[in-house]
Amino acid sequence: MSTFFNKTNLNDNVTLLEIYDKKFVSNTVEIKFVSPINRCWRTIKSLVVALLSTSNKNCPKRIDFEKKQLALYDSAIDYDFYTSGNNQIVKLSAKFLNQKFALNGDVIGEQVVRMLLDCIYNPDFSGEAFEHENIASKKQALIDEINNRENDKMVYAIKRCRELAFKGEPCEYDCLGSISDVEEITQKQIFLAYKFLISQCKVEIVLGGGDDFTKIKKMVCDEVLSHEIHGAGEVVYKTYSPLKNQPIELTEYSDVNQAKLVMAFKSDLDDLYAHKITNAIFGGSVTSKLFVNVREKMGLCYSCSSAIIEHKNTMIVICGTNKPAEAKAEILRQFELIKNGDFSKQDIDVVVNMLCSGFMSNYDSLYAIKEWYCTQYARGESFKPEDFYNIFSEIDKDRIVESARSFELDTVYVLDKLENGDNQNGGEN
């Protein structure tokens, strides 16, 4: 493949990731600020990055800001926030068309990236504050997102299971917090969080696309490096979650059409790629034991799948069912069968081919291949998608069984129908 990837540590606090492939007709520049999840500041940092995405002292009027992006061939400046391991990542990004498609010699990338950098390092402050109207708008956007997640009962159930599974760890908390967390944020807190982002967070710069990034790379690196960063600790992505002495089980009740069952299993075995095959055989594919048996053959649920939270070495099972007790028992039984080696060479070959085909599809889009290499960076690796044909070929049945046996049940969360409980609070065992 013709995709180029390179990682450069510009200094102790700033890393540059470059992903280039001439077939892509668009480009992206991302600037990520990475810091440990903090219960008190997580929501404020998420609000700050939302505010920065539309705050630019050189283009202070929102309508002019949007018109300028539209005029630059429908370019876009955006933001995002999420957790990775015990870290919170907030980022601003610019997306823009390749220069070769510009008419009459218009310069696209450099103008869009300059807007992005101004949003971050030259926002439209009045003294030490954003405009009240803009704050109110962005707060409401966060509140709407919180409400959306609360109303999506499977998303809510996964969130509650994670809170229980990772209780006492930084990743117990997400980036949003509660509605009251958002409403209580003050102007002073916003300004302090902004100063924290640009002066005390690790910075990851990501350049991706099909253009020549020579000028943009210099522009971005010069700007970021001109701002002193102090007190930023080492970013550690992989922090395995300890297994509880006894599994915790919690049932809560809500107005749902079917119960939501979420189970967390934890491992202390450091073998990510064996875990990926184990997960695919167990519940991470359409040929998995959970899909074929729990859903199709036994009809115990409408959906049943598993996934790896890799930086916590945790596997979660997600199930929508009207029979949570029966579904839980069968899920555990299916996992025991895998632990006992009750799967074939064909089962392995099928999921390995599925995984490798999925990995190769990352080459089809700029977003996918960018995320691939950002994930590789977080793992401390630089594998190409095609490398996994060889990596997986070295993982035999014994290693998969060892992987499966390393996972033990840690948490069971059920969000059940109101009529199935004596009250809405449920009980904890």
Looking at residue 422, its pLDDT comes to 60
158 within some domain = yes
Banded pLDDT at 428 (limits 50, 70, 90) = very low
Q: What length does the chain have? A: 429
238 within some domain = no
The answer on pLDDT for 201 being more than 50 is yes
The answer on pLDDT for 427 being more than 60 is no
234 within some domain = no
Express each pLDDT in 330-373 by its tens digit.
Answer: 999 999 999 999 999 999 999 999 999 999 999 999 999 999 99
**115 shares a domain with 79:** yes
Tell me the backbone φ, ψ of residue 306, rounded to 5 degrees: -130, 160
Interstrand relation of 408-417 and 259-266 (parallel, antiparallel or unpaired): antiparallel
Express each pLDDT in 225-270 by its tens digit.
Answer: 999 998 778 899 999 999 999 999 999 999 999 999 999 999 999 9
**315 shares a domain with 256:** yes
**156 shares a domain with 35:** yes
Looking at residue 196, its pLDDT comes to 96
73 within some domain = yes
Prediction pTM value: 0.94
User: Are 219 and 377 within 8 A, CB to CB?
Assistant: no
Q: Which of 225, 260, 275 is the last residue of a domain?
A: 225
For helices 42-52 and 187-200, what crossing angle results, to 10°? 80
Calpha distance 194→235 (Å, rounded): 19
- Residue spans of beta strands (DSSP E) within 11-50: 14-20, 26-36
User: Are 2 and 210 within 8 A, CB to CB?
Assistant: no
**52 shares a domain with 186:** yes
295 within some domain = yes
CATH number of residue 43's parent domain:
3.30.830.10
Express each pLDDT in 313-331 by its tens digit.
Answer: 999 999 999 999 999 999 9
Express each pLDDT in 80-94 by its tens digit.
Answer: 999 999 999 999 999
For 150, the domain range is 4-225
Looking at residue 335, its pLDDT comes to 98
The answer on pLDDT for 107 being more than 50 is yes
Calpha distance 157→250 (Å, rounded): 11
Looking at residue 421, its pLDDT comes to 73
**128 shares a domain with 33:** yes
**257 shares a domain with 211:** no
221 within some domain = yes
Express each pLDDT in 261-313 by its tens digit.
Answer: 999 999 999 999 999 999 999 999 999 999 999 999 999 999 999 999 999 99
Calpha distance 367→238 (Å, rounded): 23
Calpha distance 320→137 (Å, rounded): 35
The answer on pLDDT for 425 being more than 70 is no
Express each pLDDT in 365-422 by its tens digit.
Answer: 999 999 999 999 999 999 999 999 999 999 999 999 999 999 999 999 999 999 887 6
Calpha distance 318→161 (Å, rounded): 10
230 within some domain = no
Banded pLDDT at 132 (limits 50, 70, 90) = confident
Tell me the two tokens of residue 379: 């793992």
3-state secondary structure 177-237: CCHHHHHCCCHHHHHHHHHHHHHHCEEEEEEEECCCCHHHHHHHHHHHHCCCCCCCCCCCC
Q: Using CA atoms in the order 416, 417, 423, 425, what is the torsion angle rounded to 10 degrees?
A: 40
Tell me the backbone φ, ψ of residue 139, rounded to 5 degrees: -60, -45
In one letter, which amino acid is 346? Answer: Q
Q: Give the helix/strand (H/E) hosting 64.
A: helix 62-71
383 within some domain = yes
Looking at residue 232, its pLDDT comes to 76
Domain count across the chain:
2
Calpha distance 58→184 (Å, rounded): 30
**273 shares a domain with 133:** no
Calpha distance 19→28 (Å, rounded): 10
